């Protein structure tokens, strides 16, 4: 793991190819654009055209309810009989584990980082260097399990001068590309807010991107950007979930506006005061209207994928 964020990961890992796009040696804006177009074309043409849903990244602007949606989506998938791995990659939001009723955090994967090791990983990170990683290959100390749920945290920025989050993003990208999910296993990833992770290519390994959108101009603009970035990586299943919807009229307006931006909507979650109360108190989400809304979204998503 190094300092340059090659979108292919070629600067860090032997098993990722360098496609000689020229991004890392570009010296002008024109060269960077040309390199980006080359990368985009390569990733789109090499994207796996799989229909099954195995790896879902949940993205969106800060404050739209992304972590809440991750919880609801994971619970809805568990209700459909899936073993769900939730991967918390958000470097700042500290409370996702609480939403699942977990009393404590697992060991964060960032403890594997060793700045003095040639590849940035200490001995404890050997498992991450395998070509393929199944759920059983992940050391138990990093996982909290409960009723069809496995919860994993990459790490958080906790101290001043800790450094940037690039190495955490590298762990996420590595894991997402190498994870092999069996039948009825799915990983749901709580991405950091915004689009920086897409610029780093963190989402390369996923087959589905769900972008959470609230009724605001900024949120819908970001959904357009996320769609552009994800499709440019070759991810063909990119859908918006409308959140905090207060009326049918708002739902229609959001769907229309997003449609103009080329963003497809998979479903909506109406504003739910129970969700707000649970979020405020940092307690697990209980049955609510939103729970039913998200179950309908999962059913729609799964039926589209078969
Ligand atoms: S040329 Fe492109 S693919 Fe190769 S290392 Fe540089 S950025 Fe990565």
What are the tens digits of pLDDT across the range 269-287?
A: 998 888 778 777 777 777 7
Which of 178, 82, 168 lies closest to 129, judged by CA? 178
pLDDT at 245: 94
Taking CA atoms only, the protein residue closest to ligand 1 atom 4 is: 18
| Stronger pLDDT, 83 or 50, i.e. the higher one | 83
Digit-coded pLDDT (tens) for 139-195: 888 899 888 899 998 876 666 655 666 667 778 888 888 889 999 999 999 987 777
Digit-coded pLDDT (tens) for 92-129: 677 788 888 888 888 888 777 777 777 777 777 788 88
What is the 5 CA–ligand 1 centroid distance (Å)? 9
pLDDT at 1: 42
What is the 187 CA–ligand 1 centroid distance (Å)? 28
With a CB cutoff of 8 Å and minimum separation 6, the contacts of 94 are 156
pLDDT at 223: 94
In sequence order, the β-bridge partners of residue 146 are 149
| Stronger pLDDT, 203 or 41, i.e. the higher one | 41
Q: Which of 105-119, 130-144, 246-260 has the highest mean pLDDT?
A: 246-260
Question: Is residue 80 scored above 60 in pLDDT?
Answer: yes
pLDDT at 163: 60
State the pTM of this model: 0.85
Taking CA atoms only, the protein residue closest to ligand 1 atom 3 is: 18
The Cα 47–Cα 212 span in angstroms is: 23
Cα dist. 176→91, 148, 183, 186, 212 in Å? 16, 20, 17, 11, 20
Domain 50-305: give its CATH architecture: 3-Layer(aba) Sandwich (3.40)
Query: Using alpha carbons only, what angle is made at residue 49 by residues 33 and 179, rounded to the nearest 5 degrees?
Result: 90
Sketch the domain layout of the chain as residue ranges.
Answer: 1-46, 50-305
Taking CA atoms only, the protein residue closest to ligand 1 atom 6 is: 24
Is residue 6 within 6 Å of ligand 1 at its C-beta? yes
Question: Of the residues 2, 3, 11, which should be mutated to test ligand 1's pocket, given the most ligand atoms within 8 Å of the CB?
Answer: 11
Query: Token pair 């992940």 is at which residue?
Result: 138
The H or E element spanning position 211 is: strand 208-213
Beta strands 149-153 and 143-146 are antiparallel
């Amino acid at each position: 793991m190094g300092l340059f964020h090659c979108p292919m990961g070629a600067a860090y890992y032997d098993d990722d190819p360098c496609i000689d796009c020229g991004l890392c040696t570009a010296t002008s804006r024109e060269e960077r654009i040309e390199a980006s177009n080359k990368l985009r074309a390569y990733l789109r043409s090499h994207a796996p055209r799989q229909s099954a849903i195995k790896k879902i990244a949940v993205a969106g602007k800060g404050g739209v309810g992304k972590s809440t949606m991750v919880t609801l989506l994971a619970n809805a998938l568990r209700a459909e009989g899936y073993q769900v791995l939730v991967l918390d990659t958000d470097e700042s939001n500290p409370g996702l584990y609480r939403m699942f009723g977990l009393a404590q955090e697992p060991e964060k994967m960032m403890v594997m980082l060793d700045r003095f090791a040639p590849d940035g990983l200490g001995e404890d990170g050997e498992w991450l260097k395998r070509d393929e990683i199944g759920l059983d290959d992940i050391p138990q100390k990093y996982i909290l399990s409960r009723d069809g749920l496995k919860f994993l945290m990459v790490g958080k920025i906790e101290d001043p001068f800790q450094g940037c989050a690039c190495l955490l993003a590298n762990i996420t990208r590595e894991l997402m590309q190498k994870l092999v999910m069996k039948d009825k296993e799915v990983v749901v990833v709580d991405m950091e807010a915004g689009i920086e992770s897409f610029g780093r290519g963190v989402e390369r390994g996923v087959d589905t991107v769900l972008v959470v959108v609230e009724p605001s101009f900024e949120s819908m603009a970001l959904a357009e950007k996320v769609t552009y970035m994800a499709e440019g990586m070759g991810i063909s299943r990119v859908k918006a979930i409308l959140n905090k919807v207060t009326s049918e009229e708002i739902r229609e307006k959001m769907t229309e506006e997003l449609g103009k931006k080329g963003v497809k909507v998979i479903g909506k979650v109406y504003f739910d005061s129970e969700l707000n109360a649970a979020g405020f108190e940092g307690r697990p989400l209980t049955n609510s209207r939103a729970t039913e809304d998200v179950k309908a979204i999962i059913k729609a998503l799964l039926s589209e994928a078969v």
